[in-house]
Chain A
Amino acid sequence: MSDISRRRVLRGAAIAVAGVAMAAPAAIAAQSAVAGAGGSGHPTGHGDHTRPEAFDEVYRGRRIQGMPIPVEGRGHTGRTGHSPHMAHEGPGYAVFVDGEELHVMRNADSSWISVVNHYETFRTPRALARAAVDELQGAVLVPMA
């Protein structure tokens, strides 16, 4: 499935179950499992990065999830579709708050930032997701795409 169509499916699924907050992460987890069958579970991030393990918890009343995802074909296609610079790899990891994807980025020193805490680094995606919940104060994320 192409990146764009995959994202459309995910977005549609997320909207279809608005409030249930399950479909998008589940779909990506399924993709990740497929990719893992070929990738045999070895870290596939660039450099000496290893991708953190998945997590799934309720923090301050909101479901936060994180999971490794296929790196190929991801980039930022959905965000800046008109831009010519989308070829670089994404972070290889996705974070969700109540089923809505949070834009995250990994720094060269392996720390993490998100679009709601873009000038402050976190050691793990879970810490970043919790900080996002704190920052959001109950507000919903705007869809990334």
Chain B
Amino acid sequence: MAVRKNQATLTSTEKRAFVNALLALKRSGRYDSFVTTHNEFITSDSDNGDRVGHRSPSFLPWHRRFLIQFEEALQSVDSSVTLPYWDWTDDRTAASSMWAPDFLGGTGRSLDGQVITGPFAASSGNWPINVRVDGRSFLRRSLGGGGRPLPTRAEVDSVLAMPTYDTAPWNSASDGFRNHLEGWRGVNLHNRVHVWIGGQMGTGVSPNDPVFWLHHCFIDKLWADWQRRHPDSGYLPTGGTPNVVDLHDTMRPWNDVSPQDMLDHTAHYTYDTAA
């Protein structure tokens, strides 16, 4: 069984294998297809219309399936690789080893936000930003530049304590666990981390930054942690909801997988720690 690990515990060999698999997917063009898919969903998911990947109950199962697909692509390059997760309540500064040159590289320079260290720096020639919303073709970041700190463990725990998965109107105005985790309401967890990183991570083409996968892997783990804390709480809604993916509806773009199919991650991978 594949085990997804905290990135802080990876060996240098594991980091190298992960980075090399990312670079191989990038070279082949497969990486950019994931960026394109994400951008298509994030720009079309709307509060008053059809919504699948974001601002809706299926935010969590959609990203779980998206990450599994991406992890399978990595494993087609190197079968030893699994997605690591970034616990941003713990590794919460730009001085974290995650941002070191042997892993993701650091923040961007002040002039233009360009990342200049690590394997994804534009100067490496290995990480062109092809799927983009503006003219810049280099990876950018501004770690902590927005001014607001990363969420704390206490803030995460306050969201994990919410017993209801999601509530009507099933969008960015909802109460409940999903929307508080996503961040449109309340203390703001997932959205705030995108903003904290800045650069492409703040945009619709956020998977251009490899940290996207580590961030969403932790969000995915928090969903698993929540399920263990609330074994009697299930995915909602369970049927007949316009514009929204109900429990047994299939999700685009795969059309053969439902939220129900994604509830138990242990069929695909486990995490290195229990909740």
Measured CB to CB, the residues of A under 8 A from B are 46-47, 76, 79-80, 83, 85-89, 103, 105-109, 115-121, 135-137, 139-142
Contact = CB atoms under 8 A, between A and B. Distances in A.
A107 B184 contact: yes
A11 to B, nearest CB: 16
A139 B136 CA distance: 7
9 contacts: A83-B40, A88-B46, A118-B203, A118-B206, A119-B183, A119-B190, A120-B191, A121-B184, A139-B134
A142 B43 contact: no
Given A79-B43, A79-B44, A136-B134, 4 more contacts: A76-B43, A76-B44, A137-B112, A137-B113
B42 interface: yes
Contacts of A47: 48
Interface string B157-196: 0000000000001011100000000011000001110110
A109 B172 contact: yes
Interface in B81-106: none
B44 A85 contact: yes
A108 B194 contact: no
Q: Is the interface of A mostly helix, strand, loop or mixed?
A: loop
B26 interface: no
A118 B46 contact: no
Given A83-B40, A119-B183, A140-B134, A108 B47 contact: yes
Contacts, number: 93
Interface residues of B, number: 36
Contacts of A89: 48-49
Given A118-B202, A120-B202, A108 B169 contact: yes
Nearest to B112: A137
B42 A107 contact: no
Top-9 shortest CB links A-B: A88-B49, A108-B173, A119-B194, A119-B191, A108-B47, A139-B134, A85-B50, A115-B204, A139-B135
